[in-house]
Amino acid sequence: MKHTSTSTSLKDSAEVIGNDNGDRLTLALVGNVNVGKSTIFNQLTGLVQETGNWGGKTVELKKGTLSHHGLQIDVVDLPGIYSFATYSVEEQATQEYILTQKPDVIINVVDATSLERNLFFTLQLREMGLPVVLGINYNDIANKKNIRVDTNLLQEILGVPVVDTIAIKGIGVHELVDAALEFLDKPVNNTSRLKYGIEVENRIDQLLELLDNGFPETPSRWQAIQLLEGKNPALSADDKEMRAIISNAEKLAGELVSMHGEDISTIIAAERYALAASITEKVVSRKEAVRKLSDIMDNIMLHPIFGYFVFFLTLAAILIVVSLFGEWVTGVIEGFFESIKPEIAGSAMNIFWNGGVIGFYAALIVAIGFILPFFLILSWLSESGYLPRIAFLMDRPCHTIGLHGMSSIPLIMGLGCNVPACMACRVMNNKRDRLIATFLTTMVPCAARTSIVLGLVGAFIGWQWAVGILFFQFLLIYIIGLILNKIMPSNSPGIIMEIPEYRWPSLKNVWRQAWFRFKEFLVIGVPLIVIGSVIIETMNVYNWLDYLTDILAPLTVSWLGLPAFTGVLLIFGILRKEANLALLFSFAGGAAITTIMTPLQMVVFTIVILIYIPCISTIAVLLKETGVKATTLMVLAEIGLAILIGGVAYRLLGLFL
C-alpha cells in the first residue's frame, strides 16, 4: 500500500489541505473525540497518528494516501469535535475545511456504545446535505455491554450508508471505503425523516421559502437553520434582500424564544438531541448487563484518594522497570564495545573511538535502554484507557492553579515529547490559559529528560532518588502554576470529560505508536549525539575545551558544584536533551560515569537539565505558538530557575550525599 503523510496546523488547514488533486478522491474522517478516527486513518493509510484515548489529541489535520482497487484516495483525519458550535479552534477548522474544500465523501465515525450523543453531530452533517457514510465503531465493546444497533434501520432513517467496524482489529475499515465509492456512484440523500418539532420546522419552512434556493453553494435547509440560530454563514447582509431575510430570521427566532423561554441556540440543540434520542430508541436494543470489572476498577482508579495512590504507584513502577531495564542494556552494550576496543594511539584514533564509537554506543544505550521502553509503556497506557483517567484525576489540582482538566491533556502528552504537547495547548479557550499551560508543559519531563533521570541517577545512585527528583519536578510545576495564577488570576470553568472503556491494547498499535516517536530519535538524535561527541573529543584532544569550560566555570563549578566539562553538555543539550546523558558516557571515555561525577553532582546536574531551557525543537514551536516575547520570557525564566534551584540543591543536598 502506497502512502504519504503531511500535517497542517488548524489555523491554516483550509488553505493547505484540499481536494485539488484532479481525479483523486478525498475522504474526510470526522466524529466525536475518542471514536477511533485516528485508528481508522492508520489502518487505511498505514501511517501512525496519535491514537490515544483522551480529548484534544488530534490538534492537526492529518493526510495520508490510500491505494484502493487501483484508485489513489486522499484520506484526511479532522480533529475530534462534538458539534459545529464553532466555539473551539477544532470546530472552526473542521467546519471551514468541509465547507471550503468539499471532500468527496465524509466518513462520520461514531461510537456504538454512545450512539445518541454521537448522532447530534451526525444530524448537523445531514442538515448540511453532505455526502456522508456512517461508520459504527467499537462494536466489540458494544457487544460486551449487550448493546445491539440495527444498522439497516439506522441507514433507512438517516438516508446514508452505515458500516459496522472494529477499527483496532481492522474489521470493516476498507468496507467503509467501498461504501464511500458506491455512494459516489449512487448517492442517497433522503432527509425526509429527519424532522424537528413542528414549531421549529414551521419556521425553517418559512425561511426556506424566503431563501428560494438562491444560494447553491450550501444547502438551503442548513442555511435556514443557521439563520434561525443567528449565524448567517456564507450570506452577505450588504443587499436589501439579504437584510430582509436576516430580519425575518431574527423575528422567527424571537417567536421560538418567547414560546420556550430559552435562547435560540439552546432550543435548536434541544431539538437535535430529541431527534438523536428518538432515532437511538428505534435502532438500539440493550439487555441489562451485570456489573463489569471496569466499573469496579474505576471505583479505585477514579477515587479521590486511592486514584492518586494508584497513579503514583504506577509512575514509580514505570520508573523502576525502565531504570532496571536500562541498567541491563547499558551493561550489555558497554560489554560488547569493550570487548572489541582496539589499542588507542594518536589523536585520530582518540577522536574516532572516544568521540565516534563511544558517542554511538552511548546513543544506543539512551535509545534502547531508556527512551524506547518508556515510549512502549506510554503507548500501552494510552491504548489501555488509563491515561484519560489520569487526566480526570488531574482536573482537581489543575483548578487550584486556575486551569481546567483540558490543560492536563498537554501536560500528560509532555511525558512523551514537549513539542506536540505545546501544540496541544491550542485547546485552551483563552490566551491566559494557553500561556500558562504552555509554560508548564515545557517543564514536564519528556522521555528524553526522563531518560537522563533514570540513566544517570536511577542507574548509579538508586531508583528512589530518581523517583524523588521527578516528584520534585512535578511539585515545582505545581508551585509555578500557583504563582502564575496569583499573577494572572482567573476562574477556571468545569468541563465534562469523556472516560473511554478499558481495553486490552493491540500490540501492533502499541509498537507503531512507540516506533513513530522513537524513529525521530534514531534519525535525528543519534547522528547529532555522534557529531557532538566527535566535536567534544576533538576539542579535548587539541585542548580547546579548556577555553570554553573556563568561561563557564563560575557558573558550573563555583555555583552549581559541577565538573567544568558539564558546561559544554548544557550547551549541546539545547539541541537534544538526551544528548546530555550520551555525551556523559563519551566524556567518561568508556569508564563508569562515577569516575567523573560524584553522586551529588549527578543529582544537581539532573535537576538543572530538567528545569533549564527546552530543546531547540520545543523553542521553535513556542515561537510559532506564543510569539517571540513570550518565548523569550519562558526561556529566560527556566534558565534562571535552573541556575537558582541547582545552586541551592548543591548546598542543601551536600548534607546528605
Lowest mean pLDDT segment, chosen from 336-340, 377-381, 493-497, 611-615: 493-497
Same-domain status, 167 and 204: no
Q: Is residue 207 part of a domain?
A: yes
Which of the pair, 40 or 392, is modelled with greater confidence? Answer: 40
Task: Report pLDDT for 275.
Answer: 93
Task: Report pLDDT for 111.
Answer: 94
DSSP 542: T
The partner residues of 62 in beta bridges, in order of sequence, read: 7, 77
d(Cα 529, Cα 527) in Å, to the nearest integer? 5
Task: Report pLDDT for 39.
Answer: 87
Which of the pair, 590 or 356, is modelled with greater confidence? Answer: 356
Q: 3 pLDDT exceeds 80?
A: no
The partner residues of 632 in beta bridges, in order of sequence, read: none
Same-domain status, 177 and 70: yes
Domain count, the chain: 3
d(Cα 107, Cα 39) in Å, to the nearest integer? 13
Task: Report pLDDT for 277.
Answer: 93
Q: Is residue 128 part of a domain?
A: yes
Q: Is residue 400 part of a domain?
A: no
Task: Report pLDDT for 10.
Answer: 39
- The CATH number given to whatever domain includes residue 108 is 3.40.50.300
Q: Is residue 477 part of a domain?
A: no
Q: What share of the chain is helix, strand, coil (3-state, %, to 5)?
A: 65, 10, 30
Lowest mean pLDDT segment, chosen from 67-81, 149-163, 386-400: 386-400
Lowest mean pLDDT segment, chosen from 58-62, 385-389, 640-644: 58-62
Q: 58 pLDDT exceeds 50?
A: no
Sequence-distant (6+) residues with CB within 8 A of 657 are 598, 599, 600, 603
DSSP 486: H
CB 408 within 8 Å of CB 604: no
Share of the chain above pLDDT 70, in %: 86
Q: 79 pLDDT exceeds 90?
A: no
CB 418 within 8 Å of CB 615: yes
Task: Report pLDDT for 112.
Answer: 93
pLDDT tens by residue, 183-207: 887 665 555 568 888 999 898 888 8
Q: Is residue 428 part of a domain?
A: no
Task: Report pLDDT for 116.
Answer: 93
Same-domain status, 235 and 174: no
Q: Is residue 507 part of a domain?
A: no
- Alpha helices (runs of H) in 414-565, residue ranges in sequence order: 418-424, 431-442, 447-452, 459-460, 463-487, 507-520, 526-541, 545-553
Grid coordinates representing 65 are: 494516501
Same-domain status, 212 and 99: no
What value does the mean pLDDT take over residues 536-561? 86
What value does the mean pLDDT take over residues 40-61? 60
Same-domain status, 218 and 177: no
pLDDT tens by residue, 423-441: 778 767 678 888 999 999 9
Q: Is residue 585 part of a domain?
A: yes
Same-domain status, 365 and 326: yes
DSSP assignment of 436-453, as one string?
HHHHHHHTS--HHHHHHI
What value does the mean pLDDT take over residues 599-613? 94
Same-domain status, 157 and 23: yes
Same-domain status, 455 and 559: yes
Q: What is the dihedral of CA 326, 328, 334, 339, to 10 degrees?
A: -160
CB 545 within 8 Å of CB 565: yes
Sequence-distant (6+) residues with CB within 8 A of 430 are 490
d(Cα 222, Cα 235) in Å, to the nearest integer? 12
Quickly state the pLDDT bin for 290 (edges 50, 70, 90). low
Q: 349 pLDDT exceeds 50?
A: yes
Task: Report pLDDT for 521.
Answer: 73
Task: Looking at mean pLDDT, say which of 215-219, 456-460, 640-644 comes out highest.
Answer: 640-644
What value does the mean pLDDT take over residues 120-128? 91
Which of the pair, 92 or 165, is modelled with greater confidence? Answer: 165
Mean pLDDT of the chain: 82
CA distances from 422 to 288, 407, 489 (A): 43, 10, 21
CB 581 within 8 Å of CB 452: yes
Task: Report pLDDT for 14.
Answer: 35
Q: Whole domain around residue 528: which residue ranges?
A: 306-375+448-470+517-653
Task: Report pLDDT for 239.
Answer: 64
The enclosing H or E element of 66 equals strand 60-68
Q: 19 pLDDT exceeds 60?
A: no
Amino acid (one-letter) located at 339? S
280 closest CA partner among 193, 161, 150, 160: 150
Residue 341 neighbours by CB distance under 10 Å: 12
Angle at 173 (CA atoms; ends 95, 122), nearest 5 degrees: 35
Same-domain status, 202 and 260: yes
Same-domain status, 575 and 454: yes
353 closest CA partner among 364, 338, 366: 338
What value does the mean pLDDT take over residues 545-560? 89
Rounded to 10 deg, the angle between the 507-520 and 37-45 helix axes is: 80
pLDDT tens by residue, 616-630: 778 878 888 888 999
Phi and psi at 578, nearest 5°, equal -65, -15
Amino acid (one-letter) located at 292? K
Q: 16 pLDDT exceeds 50?
A: no
Task: Report pLDDT for 1.
Answer: 45
Sequence-distant (6+) residues with CB within 8 A of 5 are 45, 47, 62, 63, 64
What value does the mean pLDDT take over residues 265-281? 92
Same-domain status, 141 and 84: yes
Q: How far apart are the first and last CA of the chain?
A: 57
Share of the chain above pLDDT 90, in %: 25
Same-domain status, 626 and 598: yes
Q: 18 pLDDT exceeds 60?
A: no
Task: Report pLDDT for 238.
Answer: 56
Please count the residues of the chain: 657
pLDDT tens by residue, 494-528: 556 667 778 888 888 888 888 887 887 788 778 87
Which of the pair, 239 or 504, is modelled with greater confidence? Answer: 504
Quickly state the pLDDT bin for 20 (edges 50, 70, 90). very low
Which of the pair, 544 or 332, is modelled with greater confidence? Answer: 332
Q: 650 pLDDT exceeds 70?
A: yes
What value does the mean pLDDT take over residues 227-237? 68
d(Cα 100, Cα 218) in Å, to the nearest integer? 10
Sequence-distant (6+) residues with CB within 8 A of 43 are 167, 170, 173
What value does the mean pLDDT take over residues 213-217? 52
pLDDT tens by residue, 93-120: 888 888 888 899 999 999 999 999 999 9
Q: Is residue 488 part of a domain?
A: no
CA distances from 186 to 24, 40, 53, 160 (A): 18, 24, 35, 11
Strands 25-31 and 132-137: unpaired
What value does the mean pLDDT take over residues 307-336? 85
- The CATH number given to whatever domain includes residue 209 is 1.10.287.1770
